[in-house]
Amino acid sequence: MFANCGVLLCYGVIGERLAGRDHAVGWRGVAKWPSGETVNWREHITVDPAICHGSACIAGTRVLVTTILDNLAAGLDEGQIVDSYPSITRESVRAAVCYAAELAKERTLALPAS
C-alpha cells in the first residue's frame, strides 16, 4: 500500500506548521494519497512539549509518528498497526507517512557515495 509514497502531493514548509503559522505560499496542510483520498495530516499530528517530550504524536494519543514509521518499515500494513494501537485510525497512519514525507523534503542527510 505504501509503495507509491512518491506520488504523494504535499505542500509548503514544515518549520512553523505545527505552531500554526502557515505563511508558506501554497501551504494547504493536505496531502493527496495515491488512491485519491486526501489527508490533512495537521488534524492528526501534534507536537506538545508536555507529551512524549515534544515528539510528534498522533493527536489525542501517545503513539509516536516514529513508532508508526518503524512498524511500516518492519513490513506491517495499516490494518496491523491499527490493530496494535487501537487508539489510532488508518487515516492517522497515512497522516504519519505524509508528515514524514514533508520532513524529508525539508532536510537531506549526507549519504556516502555509492
Domain assignment present for 114: no
CA distance 44 to 67: 15
* Count of domains observed in the chain: 1
Q: Which residues of 2-12 are buried (b: 16+ CB within 10 A; e: fewer)?
A: eeeeeebebeb
pTM here is: 0.67
Q: Using an 8 Å Cβ cutoff, are 45 and 19 in contact?
A: no
Domain assignment present for 111: no
Domain assignment present for 55: yes
Residue 9, domain CATH? 1.10.10.10
Q: In angstroms, how far is CA 81 from the centroid of its own chain?
A: 14
**pLDDT tens-digit profile of 6-48?**
333 333 333 344 444 443 323 456 666 667 777 788 889 999 9
Q: For residue 102, give its domain range.
A: 5-106
Domain assignment present for 79: yes
The mean per-residue pLDDT over the stretch 89-111 comes to 85
Domain assignment present for 112: no
